[in-house]
Amino acid sequence: MNALPALPSALKRRRILGWMGAAACPAIARAAEATPAEPMAAASAPSPASPALDVAALRQGYAKRLKALLADGHLPYIDIESSCHSQKLDLDDIAKALDNRHIGLMALSADIGHGQYERGVRYDPLNQRLLAAYPDRFIPVGNGGQGPCLNEDPTGFVAAQEAAARQGQLLLLGEYEFHHYPSPRQVKRGEFEREARLPIDGPTGHAVFGLASRTELAFQLHYELEDANFPPLEKMLTQYPKARVVWCHLAQIRYEERAPHYTADYVASLIQRFPQLSFDTAFGDAMSIYPASGQRQARVWSALGGLKDEWRDLIVAHPQRFLSALDLGGDRLERIASYDSKHRHFLAQLPKPVQEQVAYRNAWRLMFGDEFA
């Protein structure tokens, strides 16, 4: 099997981050100087120091919850990718839904909206609220890397995320959107301004890959599956071998004509060349249509609603490189039941040992650097 390289334990990681201290931030400026095509905004002040996570206690609580669900005959999974507007979050409702659906853990990232951005917010400490209320259900994760922060003040945003990491407040970084088409819901609402296009090999890309390399925290990457995007990404993966990347939305292709070379064989080649790269499995069902193209966007499914052989074979051949994800967002958190049903349908297509790897074992290794036991 093709395993992800082992990380140091989270406790060791905290010591590493403390040792780095303030020396890490100039590396962001150096990355910007290396590729001057895209000017970077001036950095804003990172968030004030907060107590570091009690990683040992979190780990113990997570393990207890997962084992309890397993003992009751359920397959708990770790949702590696969901996000919310922290000021509109009904936390108790989400926690209840996790319990009702037998979901193990959720990495629920706070997206910084325009109002917060205009008030100077570059790090939203939602994690403190999540862990204070439900420390055995939520994973402390960095904020969503999207507009306006990533577009208008990438230096300030990345510096604030790094400050939180150095203070020992995170187990994962958030999802960074370098190429993101409007979602199906946004297309239907006519919200086409949502589209994001940042050169992944530009200054912002170097800042994010550098952040992941220095902190040894994995980040999620939203980067549309199009042939034109593949060479720049491969270039960055080669340049930053220590940056652990979770490429979101396996085989979610919104314009088929723009991705003729994205196949299971291509993904297998990436897996073989880049041991730091993994993929999440947040995608629609077999009937999911991207309204702007009129195409079925979840390319893993056959017309009958089962996994295509080539995608099942890929996951079975490399079971440690794929992770569960729901991709819930601020405009669809109330749909957790339907998203859960679709994800469990996907997991059920896999052999049981592979289900366990994808559902929770790979995310555990990504966070803690060892095997769940």
Cβ neighbourhood burial of 261 (10 Å; 0-12, 13-18, 19+): exposed
pLDDT, position 50: 76
By the 8 A CB rule, do 158 and 211 touch? Answer: yes
pLDDT, position 20: 37
25 alpha carbon, distance to own chain's centre: 23
What span, in angstroms and rounded, lies between the C-alpha atoms of 161 and 57?
23
DSSP state letter for 178: E
What span, in angstroms and rounded, lies between the C-alpha atoms of 173 and 59?
17
What span, in angstroms and rounded, lies between the C-alpha atoms of 360 and 246?
15
pLDDT, position 25: 38
pLDDT, position 321: 98
What span, in angstroms and rounded, lies between the C-alpha atoms of 180 and 298?
16
Question: What does each of the 373 residues of the chain score in pLDDT, given as a tens digit?
Answer: 454 444 444 434 443 334 333 333 333 333 333 333 333 433 444 445 678 999 999 999 999 999 999 999 999 999 999 999 999 999 999 999 999 999 999 999 999 999 999 999 999 999 999 999 999 999 999 999 998 999 999 999 999 999 999 999 999 999 999 999 999 989 999 888 778 999 999 999 999 999 999 999 999 999 999 999 999 999 999 999 999 999 999 999 999 999 999 999 999 999 999 999 999 999 999 999 999 999 999 999 998 899 999 999 999 999 999 999 999 997 788 899 999 999 999 999 999 999 999 999 999 999 999 999 9
pLDDT, position 34: 37
pTM of the full predicted structure?
0.89
Asked if the peptide bond before residue 8 counts as cis, ω within 30 degrees of 0, the response is no
What span, in angstroms and rounded, lies between the C-alpha atoms of 200 and 35?
11
What span, in angstroms and rounded, lies between the C-alpha atoms of 361 and 78?
9
Domains and CATH numbers, the chain: 10-46+53-368 (3.20.20.140)
- Give 98's strand partners: none
Q: Scanning the structure block, which residue is given the tokens 């939602």? A: 126
What span, in angstroms and rounded, lies between the C-alpha atoms of 109 and 96?
18
Residue-by-residue DSSP string for 224-291: ---GGGHHHHHHHHHH-TT--EEE-STTB-S-GGG-TT--HHHHHHHHHH-TTEEEE-----TT-EET
pLDDT, position 2: 52
By the 8 A CB rule, do 164 and 142 touch? Answer: yes
- Give the closest residue to 288 by CA, choosing from 246, 319, 327: 327
By the 8 A CB rule, do 128 and 158 touch? Answer: no
Residue-by-residue DSSP string for 27-90: HHHHHHHHSTTSPPPPPPPPPPP-PPP-HHHHHHHHHHHHHHHHHTT----EEEEEEE-GGG--
278 alpha carbon, distance to own chain's centre: 10
Residue type, 350: L
206 CB neighbour count, 10 Å cutoff: 26
